[in-house]
Structure 1
Amino acid sequence: MATSCAPVHVHRPSTVTSTDYDVVVIGAGCAGLGAALVLGRCRRRVLVCDGGAPRNAPSSGVHAFLSRDGIKPQELLRISREQLEPYPAVIIRPGKVTTVSVESHGFTLTAESETGRPATITTRKLLLATGVDDELPPVDGMRELWGQGVLHCPYCHGWEVQDKALAVYGRGKTVAGLALLISRWSRDVIVCTDGPSGVSANARRRLQAHGIGIREEPIARLQGNRRGDLKCIMFKNGEELERDALFVHPHQHQRGTLAEQLGCRTTSKGAVWTNKYLQTSVRGVYAAGDMTPGSQQALIAAAEGTQAGIFLNERLTKEDCF
């Protein structure tokens, strides 16, 4: 892969306004790299801005990813970057994009450079693939065990904890639904609400019918070992509940403010809205991966990034040729 930040020049019609890149991809996870691979194969000039570790970095493995089941997150990204090396028009650069503005030619971005000085970049199109951050509950031990003893997705991690003693953290309708889903992997599931549950009478009956209990005592902390495995849930009343793993669906927020800066429309859940072509409400701005609505899995993010790359190339081709 090219290490220089100088763009590779590919012939374009004289009617197309000159910019540094055809597409700047902000985010170097599965979605961003998936798009870069397609665009590189289309001979597009692409800059991928890598803002840091991906959301799944604490995880012990990436699961349900066909051909890569169980691979370490960083190893998956290493292979992905390696497979971009044959495409010289794709450049990956560490650094965070701080500002973006809409111009007549497309977009102007300000990004951190390796020297520490801000760099100005112009591009015809923009792909946001920055993902989301999880807002973990303020329980001692939750953050320390995140990705190992505290899990978020049974499709990603349920197999690894099957038939073990499991807990589900949360309240109301959401926790009841998650607990019923988790019961597919284990018959020993207990809901821990860390205070009044807010679980309806109907939901309680459904949980009881599947042998799922509810503990409403406030939680003092989660106790784990050095490997990050959960050993027990310690309640403030002094009681302990031995569990092997805890599932939680935490609240999330967008990682970064670029979508907000651009005025991109968001859904009621805070995801960036896109149409069927993965274009946001702002012309020329596309989005892919966890930051958009839908399931959040590495394979789905990679596939969505691939789709975005195709849609971007076809949009650019129309501008080049018609």
Structure 2
Amino acid sequence: MTSTTTEHASDDLPDETADAVVIGGGAAGLNGALMLARSRRSVIVIDSGTPRNAPAEGVHGLLGLDGTPPAELLRTGRAEVRRYGGRVATGEVTSAAPAAPAGGDPRFNVTLAGGRVLHARRLLIATGLRDRLPDVPGLARHWGGGVVHCPYCHGWEVRDEPIGVLATGPASAHHALLFRQLTGDLVYFTHGTDLDEQTRARFAARDITVTDTPVAEVTSTEDGITGVRLTDGRLVPRRVIAVATTLLARTDGLAGLGLAMEDLPHGMGRRIATGPAGSTSVPGVWVAGNATDPMAQVGASAAAGALAGAHINADLAAADAEAALAAARAGVTAG
């Protein structure tokens, strides 16, 4: 599915090599850029303007900012990065790849749509992910409204509503128990997935109705979802559909970096593999946020970006010291 596009003013981009280019202007990317800019690093954020949470009315579960509209949060974040000299531009990255090192220090070229090439010493990948919904007619149009995925992000807002959990795999059973905490009227649509007898017994004990007939479509009016129609023609009235999406890291334009990928358990999706603080097997490249941690909410993604930004700055500081030492030794030798 395609995210809503959010346009914003773009800064002029420098020709000289930046200390860091951040690919992705969400919470992870902006917080990483903030840490770098506050460390007096030259940093450029490239933002495609298609945040995952654009359809949501507010960001929830974020202490001190609960309910803040996503666009407002990002607008504030961009202003904070710019306050310390960072630059933010709207654009699509078409390719990113290593370039020839400078004295052993990594270098990268980042090409934008339109042909502009940026040069960087380090990269922070914070591209987020895409949610792939089941191919059920009528479902996608209500994504971020009557169709939700996260009980912590949206649960309070749909409390006490008639909720249907559309199963997509083994994780959906746990999903149902979490949404049962929020409503007493819950129907679990197995939709061709397996559900063992122990889980059925547990659902029965929690007053969760199980429907094994496959789903044909989600019905709605201008006011929102009205129900789930089954393949036998029956209509199960519902106001909200909870569904576990397939979580796919956004890697458009990043193939040239050769980043390692990992499948998530139970067919839940695919992420960029990382080590401590978002480090990767590619020297000079870090990853933060949903591209590597698909379950992270906004607060966790921002924290991961901050940690990665701090580690990038430390890596740059070490490289600067080595370069200065090499220059000093060369000067002594020449003298």
Q: Does TM, scored on the shorter chain, surpass 0.5?
A: yes
2:178 aligns to what?
181
- Tell me how far apart the structure 2 counterparts of residues 107 and 147 of structure 1 sit (CA, whole Å): 36
The AA in structure 1 aligned to 2:316 is L
> Per-residue deviation at 1:226?
3.0
- Partner of 2:290, secondary structure, is coil
The AA in structure 2 aligned to 1:312 is I
Q: Is the 8 A contact 2:226 2:237 kept in 1?
A: yes
- Tell me how far apart the structure 2 counterparts of residues 199 and 216 of structure 1 sit (CA, whole Å): 9
- Tell me how far apart the structure 1 counterparts of residues 57 and 277 of structure 2 sit (CA, whole Å): 33
- Partner of 1:36, secondary structure, is helix
> Per-residue deviation at 1:319?
0.8
Unaligned runs of 5+ in 1: 8-18
> Per-residue deviation at 1:170?
1.1
Q: Is the 8 A contact 1:2 1:85 kept in 2?
A: no
> Which shows bigger deviation, 132-141 or 173-182?
173-182
The one-character-per-residue Cα deviations of 1:230-259 (angstroms, maximum 9, x if unpaired) are 221122322111112111111122223344
Change (3 A) 1:139 1:71: same
- Tell me how far apart the structure 2 counterparts of residues 139 and 290 of structure 1 sit (CA, whole Å): 25
In the TM superposition, 1:86-125 aligns within 5 A as: 86-88=83-85, 90-103=86-99, 104-105=101-102, 106-112=107-113, 117-125=114-122
Q: Is the 8 A contact 2:249 2:290 kept in 1?
A: no
> Per-residue deviation at 1:284?
0.8
The AA in structure 2 aligned to 1:253 is L
Q: Is the 8 A contact 1:139 1:219 kept in 2?
A: yes
2:226 aligns to what?
231
Pairing 1:204–2:205 present:
no
Give the share of equivalent positions with the same residue, in percent.
35
Q: Is the 8 A contact 1:145 1:224 kept in 2?
A: no
How many residues are treated as equivalent by the alignment? 304
Q: Is the 8 A contact 1:222 1:230 kept in 2?
A: yes
- Tell me how far apart the structure 1 counterparts of residues 251 and 127 of structure 2 sit (CA, whole Å): 7
- Tell me how far apart the structure 2 counterparts of residues 2 and 264 of structure 1 sit (CA, whole Å): 28
- Partner of 1:5, secondary structure, is coil
Q: Is the 8 A contact 2:58 2:69 kept in 1?
A: yes
- Length-normalised TM-score, structure 2: 0.86
Pairing 1:75–2:72 present:
yes
1:267 aligns to what?
262
The AA in structure 2 aligned to 1:6 is P
Q: Which of 60, 82, 85 is residue 82 of structure 2 equivalent to? A: 85
Change (3 A) 1:172 1:287: closer
> Which shows bigger deviation, 281-290 or 229-238?
229-238
1:65 aligns to what?
62
Q: Is the 8 A contact 2:95 2:254 kept in 1?
A: no
The AA in structure 1 aligned to 2:37 is G
The AA in structure 2 aligned to 1:261 is G
1:251 aligns to what?
246
Q: Is the 8 A contact 1:173 1:200 kept in 2?
A: no
- Partner of 1:191, secondary structure, is strand
> Which shows bigger deviation, 196-205 or 125-134?
196-205
The AA in structure 1 aligned to 2:321 is C
- Partner of 2:141, secondary structure, is coil
Q: Is the 8 A contact 2:288 2:305 kept in 1?
A: yes
Q: Is the 8 A contact 1:50 1:92 kept in 2?
A: yes
2:211 aligns to what?
215
- Tell me how far apart the structure 2 counterparts of residues 2 and 256 of structure 1 sit (CA, whole Å): 22
Higher fraction of helix: 2
Quote the RMSD (CA, aligned, Å).
Answer: 1.8
Q: Is the 8 A contact 1:171 1:199 kept in 2?
A: no
